[in-house]
A = this chain, B = another copy of it.
Amino acid sequence: MPTRANGMSPAAITAAVFKRLDALKPLSLGQAKRIESLGERLEAAPPGATLQSDGDGRARPTFILSGWACRQRLLPDGRRQIFSILIPGDAVGFCLHPSPMSSASAVALTKIVLATFEAPSYGSSSSAPLSNGPSDAWGFPEHMRLSACLEEGLLLDHIVRLGRQTAYERTAHLLLELHWRLALIGQAGERRFTMPLTQEVLADVLGLSIVHVNRTLQQLRRDRLIELSGAHVVMLDLPRLTVIADYQPPVLTPGT
């Protein structure tokens, strides 16, 4: 039993990855086993660690098992824009894209545990051959496609937030997105969740200044829409927040 120092079983450690992929498309038994095997080769990183720098495309998919991270780009003068927040269950690096054409890096925002797949052994499930690029190479071709699809949707939402929504709307929208994504991996209650982000990080996600993020959060509190103390968030009025932000959760089963 190599890496069980923290006392969790492999299944518990990899629960987030399992839930996320299974929600995209039910996993076969063989796939579930493969995911569980992730729990055997862990890797830790402290806050601030660079998980992936610019052009460095990871050949294999790396998943976040616990902790939060982000994808970001820095401008020459120090401005920072965060493209997306990564939570447990998310893949680090753009698995469809072995080497990004555009500079972006991934950075840990908290203490983090990662896991990478072993060599692409074709055990039981996939009908895919080796030749089809990284998206197919680990026994989850369909899941990785759906995952890329979901991520593109999140990027589009982000563009709308930044381009056409006010600070107030943006903030509400981001909170709703995080709440939805955390619920997907079983880490959010009906109305509450834990968000280990500083206001500086929120500012760099939302394209605002720290000070204005603070004021906007105050306003949301005064309007009795959220409660927020430390990392603890309560969505007091989901219906109203949803309308304000024009939030539309991703549709996981587009076919139906």
Contacts and interface: CB of A to CB of B under 8 A. Distances in A.
A71 B21 CA distance: 28
B131 A127 contact: yes
B248 A148 contact: no
Most buried by B among A128, A149, A163: A163
A20 interface: no
Most buried by B among A132, A157, A162: A132
Nearest to A206: B163
B207 A150 contact: no
Given A57-B254, A159-B158, A133 B141 contact: yes
A55 interface: yes
Interface of A: 55, 57, 73, 75-76, 79-81, 83, 94, 96-104, 127-129, 131-133, 135-136, 141-142, 145, 148-150, 152-160, 162-165, 206-207, 246, 248, 250-252, 254-255
